[in-house]
Amino acid sequence: MRFSPRDASPRLSDHALAKGLLFNLLSALLIWSGFGLTTDSASGADLFDKHDFSLVKKAASELSPVARISMQDASKLKPLSATISTPCLIVKTSEGNFAKMLVSWGFRKHGEDRLPVLLIERFVTYRGDRPDMTAATGKDILLFAGFEFDFDIGQVVPAKAGGDISFSAESVLEAVPPAALFTLSKSFVSTEGPSSAPGDVSSGQGFAGDWIVNADDRWNGEWSLKVDSEGRILGKFVSAESRNTYDITGNVSGLPHQARLEIFLANTQVSVEAYLWSNTQNDMAGVVTVAGRKFGFFARRAQADQAAPQTKAEKQESAPEKGAGDK
């Protein structure tokens, strides 16, 4: 647990599962100062985001369901990745949909007492009849003892009111039949496919990879693009707001650093004219057209800062100066 000095009230963060003495110390701090929430925003999609409907369903088919998870059990669960410090759980809902969530356990001060709470840090519910669409999404949801959570509608509900999970006064999370609960401690994301590192710009492969996109602050999210040997582009757009997934098609144009894309949303089509930075290939920008109206967009390659090649200017600045005897 961690407190943010920027907030008037303390907030529970990703460290709510700390073990041993640290957990007891921070629990005591919660009694003294109350309880709240904080969410660390990561740049781009993390491994939790990359587990789409097909991977969540696949994981549920291969994992064994668990009936209940106590606070002590949760402290022993392995996080999904090194950058995610809280357990990832999968729920097959009472309506047959599949949901994923990141959760942490904690307490909220109430007078002289401590009330156990479950924090659903993030969750996404995928529709079983439309795998590319989500039924509900949300974050920073407190589930108090005696209540249930219905993932099909994305709401806290009273006990025995159709919830998929319940939380008890003993800090125990349980699946509410016919719903089923699974713990996801390993990644099901394939490591195969094109690298997110920049490719050969002359062939248009520089467009391949994962991109964090902002289109007029309306159609934001992540593009995952693949480019074949003939310059055809296929990919997926995952909306940052709804977590719905949409198809992308397109092709690299006559200029190797230019591409035209079509994104097929639920009720409209987005046409994209994109220009790739021809030097580093870590950025692109251009115009999106929706219903005849043009808007600007820009995109940054996911995790580009970790291995971005130097620009020409940076190379010139870092090159050693030639002495009088240099030719």
79 lies in which domain range?
53-184
Please give the pLDDT value at position 118: 95
Say how far residue 322 (Cα) sits from the centre of its chain: 48
Let me know if residue 265 belongs to a domain.
yes
Please give the pLDDT value at position 84: 85
Note whether 122 and 225 are same-domain residues.
Answer: no
Note whether 74 and 164 are same-domain residues.
Answer: yes
Low-confidence ranges of the chain (pLDDT < 50): 1-43, 193-201, 305-315, 318, 320-327
Let me know if residue 189 belongs to a domain.
no
Let me know if residue 287 belongs to a domain.
yes
Let me know if residue 322 belongs to a domain.
no
Let me know if residue 8 belongs to a domain.
no
Give a three-class secondary structure readout of the chain: CCCCCCCCCCCECCCCCCCHHHHHHHHHHHHHHCCCECCCCCCCCCHHHHCCHHHHHHHHHHCCCECEECHHHHCCCCCCECCECCCEEEEECCCCCEEEEEEEEEEEEECCEEEEEEEEEEEEEECCCCCCCEEEEEEEEEEECCEEEECCCCEEEECCCCCCEEECCCCCEEECCCCEEEEECCCCCCCCCCCCCCCCHHHCHHHCEEEEEEECCCCCEEEEEEECCCCEEEEEEEECCCCCEEEEEEEECCCCCEEEEEEECCCCEEEEEEEECCCCCCEEEEEEEECCEEEEEEEEECCHHHCCCCCHHHHHHHCCCCCCCCC
Note whether 130 and 215 are same-domain residues.
Answer: no
Please give the pLDDT value at position 191: 59
Please give the pLDDT value at position 100: 97
| Closest CA relative to residue 106, chosen from 55, 150, 151, 140 | 140
Please give the pLDDT value at position 113: 85
Let me know if residue 38 belongs to a domain.
no
Boundary-marking domain end, from 151, 184, 217? 184
For the chain, how many structural domains are there in total?
Answer: 2
Note whether 70 and 168 are same-domain residues.
Answer: yes
Note whether 260 and 172 are same-domain residues.
Answer: no
Let me know if residue 151 belongs to a domain.
yes
Please give the pLDDT value at position 304: 57
Note whether 65 and 159 are same-domain residues.
Answer: yes
Task: Look up the CATH number of the domain holding residue 234.
Answer: 2.40.128.120
Note whether 213 and 149 are same-domain residues.
Answer: no
pLDDT in tens, 257-275: 889 899 988 888 899 999 9
Note whether 153 and 73 are same-domain residues.
Answer: yes
Note whether 239 and 165 are same-domain residues.
Answer: no
Please give the pLDDT value at position 323: 45
Please give the pLDDT value at position 314: 46
Let me know if residue 125 belongs to a domain.
yes
CA–CA separation, 229 and 202 (whole Å): 11
Note whether 180 and 216 are same-domain residues.
Answer: no
Note whether 254 and 176 are same-domain residues.
Answer: no
pLDDT in tens, 49-106: 889 899 999 999 999 999 999 988 988 888 888 778 889 999 999 999 999 999 999 8
Note whether 76 and 175 are same-domain residues.
Answer: yes
